[in-house]
Structure 1
Amino acid sequence: MTDAKSLLAVPPAGAAADWTIPQDWARYTPAEHAMWDTLFERQARMLPGRVSPTFLAGLDVLRMSKPGIPDFEELSERLHALTGWRVVAVPGLVPDEDFFRHLANRTFVAGRFIRTPEQIDYLQEPDVFHDVFGHVPLLANPVFADYMQAYGEGGLRSLDLNAMHRLARLYWYTVEFGLIREDGDLRLYGAGIVSSYGESRFALDDPSPNRIALDLKRVMRTRYKIDDYQQTYFVIDSYEDLLRQTLETDFAPLYAELEGEPDLATDAVLPTDTVLTLGSQAYARSQKEAVA
């Protein structure tokens, strides 16, 4: 998702009114398909034992009859049969209202380009590997699929309450960079982590970041980093609990309450936090020193 103010309100040439475009699967080159295969195999080998089993189960939906980058039409048929979701191509980041509306209608928007070999370990704008490998497996799970729809519906309501930035933080710390506690161990589930070779290791193994139990109000006060590994990860107990909190919370008074409270830094730890890991923040300090 992105800030609508940074984008033109009118879709670019070739895009429909809802910002969708044809994926045009036939245009992908052998090198682009090979990049997908390299990324897929690298993550698929590394993630078992680190990622939520629910994500691993959902990976099967990505095993297409065609090689390389999934064909969104075939992918949508398989995904729709499981949870009613579809995947559609967009030219890049889309305005918030369109993004929320797609989610509310069980449509996941995905960029159709794929990173180059020079970008294999990092790129700032999400590509088809991040969007599809990172997000789609959990959309095959009925509970998480319901959470994403509820999030989209809540996002549309937030626009009228000038609270979109609050929900952006919730998306960031759950859908993109969330951790889950399963059978006593921490596991990955956020798309931004599971699609990143480096952060898949950092988020669980490194002593630098904080790992804190998720609280909706706490998360919506917390700023986040878009250009490096996170200084804090928030941990859910289950997808069912995440959905329950979302459905049972009256967000309008919560937004009003938050207006009177300051934002929190990315490395903040509060006395009221349930801290699972108190991070050293050594990595963040080293990055600051490197550019000083």
Structure 2
Amino acid sequence: MFTEGQLYSPVTTHEDGTVEVHLADTHPGRDDAQYLQRRGEIAGAALAWDRGNVPVPTIVYTPQEHAVWSRVSHELAPLHARFAHREYLEAKERLGLPTGHVPQLAEVSERLLPLTGWSYVCAPGLVPLRDFYADLGGRTFNSTQYLRHGAEPLYTPEPDIIHEVIGHANQLASPRLAAITEAAGRASLRLETDEAMKLVADVFWFSIEFGVMYDGDDLKAYGAGILSSYGEIQEFADMEIRDLDLADMGTLNYDITAYQPVLFAARSMTHLEDVVGDFFATVDDDAAAALRVEAGRRGLLPLARH
């Protein structure tokens, strides 16, 4: 099962008002006191933000943080040209994100709004699953504002602003991909059971996050998780590629901390819309339950989930 909060480091606020981000022992910044303080400051800005009354907080990024953004942007550019689907590439060109500095979320919104009507808001890290999807249904994307540790700029154990913006904002600049994302959010508002919500989130994982799609005879990536990962974008074509299959996508057991060994390929953008887009646009609790029954009949339901 995928939830937007699973990959994010926990955040707590102490009695004195300081905010602490609890990084995993394997995180490159775990023993860097300056990085830990910085992460706490950025998370604190999001926690203190009054969503209804004031603009998204501006983060004054350091030269080192701008350098990380620039390094990753320039390293990903030739990989995008080689491996990204044309739908993503054309959207990326329209959006025109800066490559030399970290954009403010307000700047991302200003670029997206006239293209597809989407905007960005800040989050300290974890966003409850239903809250995240409800916002998607309103064309609003919850994004972190911190950057990965500078010691390993081409690696991050958790989604940072590079994933949220280079991966998702470029994707959301495509009207067709944005419409599928919005439909997933709207689906969450119809669903009452947690089982149905989890199934929708898993289909989202294997499409919007880790989707691949043919462009003619060539397999390309459109998923934000692949296109924001320097390593995974070079490996996805060697994974097990299956046809779009909602019962399989919605119940497959997988590990969120590793490269995805199984990916689902759409034959075209229209095929993706017809299968995944229509699923998000129409799914309800009964339809989700029927898919789980089908998965069970076909022996697809896992014994346990990571």
Paired residue for 1:201?
Answer: 234
Does residue 1:172 correspond to 2:201, yes or no?
no
Change (3 A) 1:66 1:170: closer
- The RMSD of aligned alpha carbons is 2.8
Paired residue for 1:288?
Answer: none
Structure 2 Cα separation of the partners of residues 168 and 21 of structure 1: 29
For residues 20-43 of structure 1, the C-alpha deviation after alignment (integer angstroms, 9 at most, x for no partner) is 983413x21011011000000000
The percentage of aligned residue pairs carrying the same residue is: 32
Tell me if the contact between 1:158 and 1:167 (Cα under 8 Å) persists in the aligned partners: no
Paired residue for 1:226?
Answer: 256
Task: Please give the secondary structure, in 2, of the residue aligned with 1:154.
Answer: helix
Superposed displacement of residue 220, structure 1: 0.6
Paired residue for 2:107?
Answer: 74
Does residue 1:213 correspond to 2:243, yes or no?
yes
TM-score, structure 1 as length reference = 0.79
Correspondence for 2:225 among 192, 201, 204:
192
Paired residue for 2:76?
Answer: 43
Superposed displacement of residue 242, structure 1: 2.4
Superposed displacement of residue 235, structure 1: 0.5
Paired residue for 1:247?
Answer: 278
For residues 11-64 of structure 1, the C-alpha deviation after alignment (integer angstroms, 9 at most, x for no partner) is 98414468x983413x21011011000000000022212111121222235535
Superposed displacement of residue 2, structure 1: 2.9
For 1:77, the aligned partner's letter is E
Structure 2 Cα separation of the partners of residues 264 and 189 of structure 1: 27
Superposed displacement of residue 241, structure 1: 2.8
For 2:88, the aligned partner's letter is F
* Structure 1: 5+ residue stretches without partners: 267-292
For 1:213, the aligned partner's letter is D
Aligned length: 258
Task: Please give the secondary structure, in 2, of the residue aligned with 1:163.
Answer: helix
Superposed displacement of residue 259, structure 1: 4.2
Change (3 A) 1:30 1:202: same
Change (3 A) 1:192 1:162: same
For 1:247, the aligned partner's letter is D
Task: Please give the secondary structure, in 2, of the residue aligned with 1:49.
Answer: helix
Superposed displacement of residue 67, structure 1: 4.2
Change (3 A) 1:36 1:159: farther
Paired residue for 2:22?
Answer: none
Tell me if the contact between 2:97 and 2:108 (Cα under 8 Å) persists in the aligned partners: yes
Structure 1 Cα separation of the partners of residues 127 and 55 of structure 2: 12
* Structure 2: 5+ residue stretches without partners: 12-42
Task: Please give the secondary structure, in 2, of the residue aligned with 1:222.
Answer: coil
For residues 138-183 of structure 1, the C-alpha deviation after alignment (integer angstroms, 9 at most, x for no partner) is 2111111110100001123234453222112111111111100111
Tell me if the contact between 2:243 and 2:265 (Cα under 8 Å) persists in the aligned partners: yes
More off after superposition, 240-249 vs 225-234: 240-249
Superposed displacement of residue 87, structure 1: 1.5
